[in-house]
């Protein structure tokens, strides 16, 4: 099952969304900034900023949220990144910006 999904990575320590510390923190290959890399709910991986920002400071296309995967059969991953769409978060509600928002331009 997991291999069909391409989700073959070994289980990682439980990430805590409130804790920005990380074992061997990943960095963006383009700008060198600290990023958090999470699987998405559609089998892609996404680089997210290491900090959360209020929704009002993050343009809609870059808003992500970390959530627990409801499907218990996918044992390799507990936390997935989900785009915040269809709902309008409160301006002060914290969202996780995609790192692309703050990365250097192409």
Binding site for Zn ion (CB under 5 A): 28, 30-31, 103
Distance CA 70, CA 51 (A): 24
Q: Where in 1-106 does DSSP place strands (E)?
A: 35-39, 45-49, 53-54, 63-68, 79-83, 94-97
- Nearest distance from residue 44's CB to Zn ion, in Å? 17
Q: Which is nearer to Zn ion, 62 or 77 (CB)?
A: 62
- Nearest distance from residue 88's CB to Zn ion, in Å? 27
Q: Which is nearer to Zn ion, 74 or 100 (CB)?
A: 100
């Amino acid at each position: 099952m997991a291999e069909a999904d391409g989700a073959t990575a070994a289980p990682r320590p439980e990430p805590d969304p409130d804790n920005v510390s990380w074992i061997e923190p990943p960095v963006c290959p383009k700008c060198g900034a600290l990023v958090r890399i999470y699987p998405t709910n559609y089998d892609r991986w996404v680089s997210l900023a290491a900090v959360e920002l209020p929704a009002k400071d993050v343009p809609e296309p870059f808003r992500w949220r970390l959530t627990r995967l409801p499907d218990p059969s996918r044992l390799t991953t507990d936390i997935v990144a989900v785009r915040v769409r269809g709902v309008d978060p409160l301006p002060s509600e914290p969202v996780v910006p995609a790192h692309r928002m703050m990365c250097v331009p192409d």
